[in-house]
Structure 1
Amino acid sequence: MMAEKKRGGYFWRCIRDIMRFMPLLFWGKLFTSIAEGILRVWQPLLIAEIFQMAPALNDVNISIFKRKIIFLCVCTGFPSVCTILLRAVGLYGECRKETFYGREMYGFARRIRLEALEDKKVLDSFRKADAAYSQHLAGSRMFSYLLMDVEAVLTCISTLFVVGSFSVWLLAGGILGIVPHLLLDLISERRRNRVYRGQSAKRRRLAYLWRLFCMKEPVKEMRTMGFQDYLKEKWVETNVDVVQEMEELELKAVRLSALGVLVRNCCYVANVAVALLLMLRGELAPGQFAACLMAFGLLQDQLFMLSSYVVALIQSYHHVEEYYDFFQVETEDAGGEDYHSMREGRVTGERDSIKEGCAAGEGDSNHSPDRDSSAENGIRLRNIRPAENGIRLRNVHFRYPGAEQDTLNGVDLDIGKGEHVVIVGANGSGKTTLSKVLTGAYSAASGEIRYDGQNISKIRKKELYRDISLVPQDFVHYHFSFRENICVSDFEAMSDGERIRKVTDAVGMQELIQGIGGLDVQLGREFGGRELSGGEWQKVAIARGLFRDSELIVLDEPTSALDPLVEYEVLTGFLNLIQGRTSVVISHRVGICRHADKVVVMKEGRVVECGTHEELKGAGGEYARIWGEQAKWYL
């Protein structure tokens, strides 16, 4: 799921992005860094010349002396002035940076293939990219350290040039002070990066375990079941492993750094001794000796800063790599062909109600799976359009990343336009995966899926998704208002009160809405709202799916949190509301199959049976076995 990485171009890609979203800060910082690096070196030269001129001032050289004093003041004050100006520009740049990096990352996340999120490498990549953006500031920090390195390098080179102009021996000592210290720091950083990258899986596990202690449902379960100490030990063990690895690494880094500092200080002492000897021999004037001492101090400071900035630059570049690595995840093919909606020629015939009040009066029929057909329960099946006018799957295969075998193994299925289909089967038979592939959320590895003859792998996904509504098994509890929870699936119709009423009536939520104070009440305790039960949240999710005016609606285990009486009421309201629309329901409970136009039975990733409830029940196959097993609970 990860495309081939192209890290070599990340540096220049990052620079181009920075120039794009904050050009003023880019050029301003670049200019001032170069200017500061050059002007700082003039200070020891000017001081040496001022010391030499001071004893012999006269009317001829006094103007030159004054100019040198002014230039020295400029060299000293220019960095401070630039810092103040760039700080103001930097505030604007920081705001732009937050907008740019966040927009780019999450805009890209919307386009990645959903099945890629099943790959742990992709999840690691996403975590690293998010940390690189939100915690390590990605490219903006790398750019800042790059300019600091440029400034430090220019200062060191210029200082070495100044010192070397006094004596070649001083030049050799200065170079020996730079190279060993820098190399040792680079070795430490290389080790640090290797260990950090190797800890990615452990750090993700640490974050996961920590979240368990901060979320209501896991905390409630672990306290009730008494395994909080076990999870604590797992967190401690993982944390200790990570900390021990980092401690060993940092101890090695400290030893190498101490060796580098020792070499640097020895070179500094040697340079001072050589300069003193040259002055005593008359090869250096006292002013030049003072300039050398100042240059040596400046060189020491810049060497320390240079090694620190180079290490920081490498660290920040590693974060830049992690940020841009995320953009190598495979994206969803948006498709190029126009999509002709299945709404064209939508089935307009309605189911005929046999008798009034069936939802309330016949509710007990749902208690036993072994009751009569749907006609007895008030719903009569009508003729369905042929499958070629609906959805057709042919030899569809799908395999999750890292899996050894296909989850879907050659699925063939026809769903007629306006048809109500229920898919049943044991756990792991591929039902939920089929719903994801059917809707185009996951891309089939092979085979084809056609909507009214159109191959969904080639049509524009954005247009296709307008025709689909999905209520997943692991639906989301949105901590928004009641109205937003329902209408977010079609937010442009949020003010359509009549449409909201029909949907909430269909799933039996009017009493709940009135009880909590209306549609605009905040839901969820996250922001001080009203918390709902599991069954109530599931009703909200079903209402959200129904509210979307789509041609196809897919529900995965839509009533798993509802008791049988409420399940019957909700499903009856659901079927009555979606007349003329195509529906696919994934369910473990076979009671709903009596109301379906077609029942599809899956086993080991294949469709093993397909027909009506009565046909499959009488066939004595897999469906009859499942029906019989569930009937034992009601007889």
Structure 2
Amino acid sequence: MKKTIKLKSLISCIAIIFREKPFLASLEGVSYLGSAITTGFMPLVWAFVFQAIENYITGKKENSIIHAMILFLIVQLAEVLFRMIGRVPTRVFCYNEQLQMKLCKNIYLHATELPYEDFLNQEIYNSFARSNSSISRNLPMNLLNTFFQIPSLVLSLCVAIVTLGAFSRWLVLIAIVSLLPISIIQAIILNKTYDISKDLTPIKKATSYFYSLFTKPTAVAEFRTYGCEEYFKTSWEKSLDKENLIVKKHAAKSSLQSITGEAFKLLGFAVALIFSSIAVAAGSINLGVFGALLTAYNSMQTTSNQIVSSLLSINSTYLFYSDYESFLKKSICTIPVLCDKTIEEISFENVSYKYPHSSVYAIENLNLKLRFNESVAVVGENGSGKTTLCLLLLGLLQPTSGKVISTFSDGEKRENIILQRKIGTVFQDFVIYKLTLKENLLLANLHSQYESAVLEKTLQNLHFKDGETINLDETIGIEFGGVEYSGGERQKIALARAQLSKCNYIVMDEPTASLDPMMEFELLNNVLSTVENKGFLLITHRVGASRLANQIIVLKNGKLVERGSHDELINLHGEYANLFKMQAKWYIDNEE
């Protein structure tokens, strides 16, 4: 996949590191520069050592071998010292881990600010997975190392070229030609690696999903009763095999290409060895120069290869880092600070909405006014637009057309805003978190100072664990050594959380779907009777529960078709009356 490398993005990647830990980042630079200098001068040191050995053998300047060994040891110790300096940030201060934590924090914080609608699109999950992958690869640190490494390698290469070129320019040319194939091959492999990583993202997600099912109690229960565990095991294996097959094919092809490149590199070294040996035999050079030439040639080959790899690595690193950067550039939603403002009503003016990738409107030309001191029920068949209405009301979805206007007690009006901490909610797919029971209750109002007795009383009013002691510090979740609550108990926790939110309006989307109708009616009646001076919007497909509200709204195919009290709608003999009679018949038939 071709992408244009942007210098600004590369600089921002490196700036992350210097901004967080400038001293540790500087140590990396000192380490690479020092190592490059010592490595670059090694061919000259070896030439001095070989010459000293030859002088010692021939009886000339016998003390020179001692000087040569001392010089060799000093250079080697310097190289070790510089490498140890480079390990201080990673080994002593665990900088890589700190940086990864910082980048992860950036991703997760940004994810919390994305519009709700983004999470209705598969691409957001793929983008999130790829950006996490870029962090796990520790790319900013790798890129910094590469930038430090390239100048250092260039310095080493210059020394090697000068040493080699002083004897023969042909050896320099041979080294360059022998490296061309492996350089081209590395470029192909690195670009292909990114493409494959991107293609593997949805496959890995599927593999992970199937694997996670084997440790979920609800899934395990169905496996045991339906006997379908083999199907999911096979599905997991197929997904894993598909993933491994792509990786293996890429690895096999890359290995073959790398071997071909290394063969050319080895062939070049063999030619240089033969060329230098002939020169020694002809007396053109002595043993010391011979050793220096081979060392310089090997250094030039190795350094040139590393420079090419580093340059290609910048491109590869940028491709992965661009996933992280592009995720952070996704537009966020604006959540207004409403402080102590009290909402009096919300109006829908010609509001229509259709979900991404859908051609059908979930809500169409809706005109509706909801006063926050009223109790309203929304009924309709599945797919009639009830939940969409709820999400539009809360500002989680923005209308495709029309306006959702919030009117506050001071007369101010706002259009299409997210109403955070202004409406207590019980969503249809509510979440009970793997925290303590007390923490779950307080999530709707984290700044509250509720006494434990108040929390317990709220739960008791909902008949939560009747006759049993309520342990607010009990952890929820077997995998954390806690307990698992039944579906009905979980719904009561969600209802209690909404009650404790201190909001003057409560929205409940199918809040008691897992309870039988009689218990549902009793529980909701109990909940609503304890909610003093609060209006509510109850979304339900059971018309019996709707009688708890003063006003009933009937939706059908995304349109408001009826509105009125229970008695008024029954007398209309329309959609509501049909739903009521149909559902009443279930219980009459059962009694008969």
**Normalised by the size of structure 2, how large is the TM-score?**
0.90
Instruction: Write the letter of the residue equivalent to 2:429.
Output: D
Alpha-carbon distance between aligned partners in 1 of 2:100 and 2:252, rounded to the nearest angstrom: 35
Aligned residue for 1:400, secondary structure, equals: coil
Alignment partner of 1:121 out of 120, 123, 126:
123
- 2:163 corresponds in structure 1 to 162
Alpha-carbon distance between aligned partners in 2 of 1:7 and 1:393, rounded to the nearest angstrom: 46
Within 5 A, what are the aligned runs for 1:6-25? 8=6, 9-25=8-24
- 2:44 corresponds in structure 1 to 45
Alpha-carbon distance between aligned partners in 2 of 1:237 and 1:580, rounded to the nearest angstrom: 57
Aligned residue for 2:447, secondary structure, equals: helix
Give how far 1:261 is off.
Answer: 0.7
Aligned residue for 2:553, secondary structure, equals: strand
Alignment partner of 1:97 out of 87, 96, 99:
99
- Structure 1 stretch displaced more, 167-176 or 147-156: 147-156
Alignment partner of 2:386 out of 431, 434, 437:
431
Gaps of 5+ in 2: none
Alpha-carbon distance between aligned partners in 2 of 1:137 and 1:194, rounded to the nearest angstrom: 19
Aligned residue for 2:196, secondary structure, equals: helix
Alpha-carbon distance between aligned partners in 1 of 2:303 and 2:224, rounded to the nearest angstrom: 56
Deviations along 1:444-468, one digit per CA (max 9) or x if unpaired, are 2221112216554476x5xx41212
Alpha-carbon distance between aligned partners in 2 of 1:284 and 1:208, rounded to the nearest angstrom: 67
- 1:106 corresponds in structure 2 to 108
Deviations along 1:195-248, one digit per CA (max 9) or x if unpaired, are 332233222222222222232211211221122222223223333333223322
Aligned residue for 1:583, secondary structure, equals: strand
Deviations along 1:500-522, one digit per CA (max 9) or x if unpaired, are 2442233222626x34x522222
- Contact preservation (8 Å) 2:41, 2:156: no
Establish whether residue 87 from structure 1 lines up as the match of residue 87 from structure 2: yes
- 2:405 corresponds in structure 1 to 450
Aligned residue for 1:492, secondary structure, equals: coil
- 1:590 corresponds in structure 2 to 543
- Structure 1 stretch displaced more, 397-406 or 16-25: 397-406
Deviations along 1:380-420, one digit per CA (max 9) or x if unpaired, are xxxxxxxxx41111112222222223222222111112111
Within 5 A, what are the aligned runs for 1:153-192? 153-192=154-193
Alpha-carbon distance between aligned partners in 2 of 1:149 and 1:434, rounded to the nearest angstrom: 58
Alpha-carbon distance between aligned partners in 2 of 1:190 and 1:603, rounded to the nearest angstrom: 52
Within 5 A, what are the aligned runs for 1:196-345? 196-302=197-303, 314-335=315-336, 341-342=341-342
Alpha-carbon distance between aligned partners in 1 of 2:190 and 2:445, rounded to the nearest angstrom: 51
Alpha-carbon distance between aligned partners in 1 of 2:54 and 2:246, rounded to the nearest angstrom: 62
- 2:132 corresponds in structure 1 to 130
- Contact preservation (8 Å) 1:170, 1:275: no
Change (3 A) 1:110 1:64: farther
Instruction: Write the letter of the residue equivalent to 1:88.
Output: V
Change (3 A) 1:189 1:161: same
- Contact preservation (8 Å) 2:353, 2:364: yes
Give how far 1:612 is off.
Answer: 1.3
Give how far 1:575 is off.
Answer: 1.0
Instruction: Write the letter of the residue equivalent to 2:558.
Output: G
Change (3 A) 1:34 1:479: same
Aligned residue for 1:395, secondary structure, equals: strand
- Contact preservation (8 Å) 1:47, 1:291: yes
- 1:346 corresponds in structure 2 to none
Alpha-carbon distance between aligned partners in 2 of 1:305 and 1:178, rounded to the nearest angstrom: 11
Deviations along 1:328-378, one digit per CA (max 9) or x if unpaired, are 32211334x8676226xxxxxxxxxxxxxxxxxxxxxxxxxxxxxxxxxxx
Alpha-carbon distance between aligned partners in 1 of 2:286 and 2:550, rounded to the nearest angstrom: 104
Alpha-carbon distance between aligned partners in 2 of 1:74 and 1:599, rounded to the nearest angstrom: 89
- Contact preservation (8 Å) 1:508, 1:569: no
Give how far 1:567 is off.
Answer: 1.6
- Contact preservation (8 Å) 2:10, 2:318: yes
Alpha-carbon distance between aligned partners in 2 of 1:395 and 1:73, rounded to the nearest angstrom: 83
RMSD: 2.8
- Structure 1 stretch displaced more, 189-198 or 110-119: 189-198
- Contact preservation (8 Å) 2:30, 2:82: no
- Contact preservation (8 Å) 1:160, 1:174: no
- 2:585 corresponds in structure 1 to 632
Within 5 A, what are the aligned runs for 1:489-508? 489-493=444-448, 495-508=450-463
Alpha-carbon distance between aligned partners in 1 of 2:413 and 2:172, rounded to the nearest angstrom: 73
- Contact preservation (8 Å) 2:32, 2:86: no
- Contact preservation (8 Å) 2:181, 2:261: yes
Give how far 1:596 is off.
Answer: 0.4
Instruction: Write the letter of the residue equivalent to 2:331.
Output: E
- Contact preservation (8 Å) 2:392, 2:399: yes
- 1:571 corresponds in structure 2 to 524
- Contact preservation (8 Å) 2:387, 2:509: yes
Alpha-carbon distance between aligned partners in 2 of 1:51 and 1:257, rounded to the nearest angstrom: 34
Instruction: Write the letter of the residue equivalent to 1:73.
Output: L
Give how far 1:280 is off.
Answer: 3.0
- Contact preservation (8 Å) 1:484, 1:494: no
Alpha-carbon distance between aligned partners in 2 of 1:27 and 1:63, rounded to the nearest angstrom: 41
Change (3 A) 1:402 1:67: farther
- Contact preservation (8 Å) 1:206, 1:238: yes
- 1:478 corresponds in structure 2 to 433
Gaps of 5+ in 1: 344-388
- 1:465 corresponds in structure 2 to 420
- Contact preservation (8 Å) 1:487, 1:494: no
Instruction: Write the letter of the residue equivalent to 1:254.
Output: S
**Normalised by the size of structure 1, how large is the TM-score?**
0.84
Instruction: Write the letter of the residue equivalent to 2:437.
Output: F
- Contact preservation (8 Å) 1:342, 1:390: no
Instruction: Write the letter of the residue equivalent to 1:489.
Output: A
Change (3 A) 1:153 1:241: farther
- 1:548 corresponds in structure 2 to 501
- Contact preservation (8 Å) 1:499, 1:547: no
Change (3 A) 1:286 1:195: same
Deviations along 1:43-87, one digit per CA (max 9) or x if unpaired, are 111231344467779xxx999998776554333222322232332
Alpha-carbon distance between aligned partners in 1 of 2:264 and 2:50, rounded to the nearest angstrom: 32
Alpha-carbon distance between aligned partners in 2 of 1:176 and 1:223, rounded to the nearest angstrom: 65
- 2:358 corresponds in structure 1 to 403
How many residues were matched structurally?
Answer: 577
Instruction: Write the letter of the residue equivalent to 2:290.
Output: F
Give how far 1:476 is off.
Answer: 1.2
- 1:379 corresponds in structure 2 to none
- 1:78 corresponds in structure 2 to 78
- Contact preservation (8 Å) 1:443, 1:457: no
- Structure 1 stretch displaced more, 228-237 or 569-578: 228-237
Aligned residue for 1:166, secondary structure, equals: coil
- Structure 1 stretch displaced more, 228-237 or 607-616: 228-237
Change (3 A) 1:600 1:295: same
Alpha-carbon distance between aligned partners in 1 of 2:466 and 2:266, rounded to the nearest angstrom: 80
- Contact preservation (8 Å) 1:138, 1:323: no
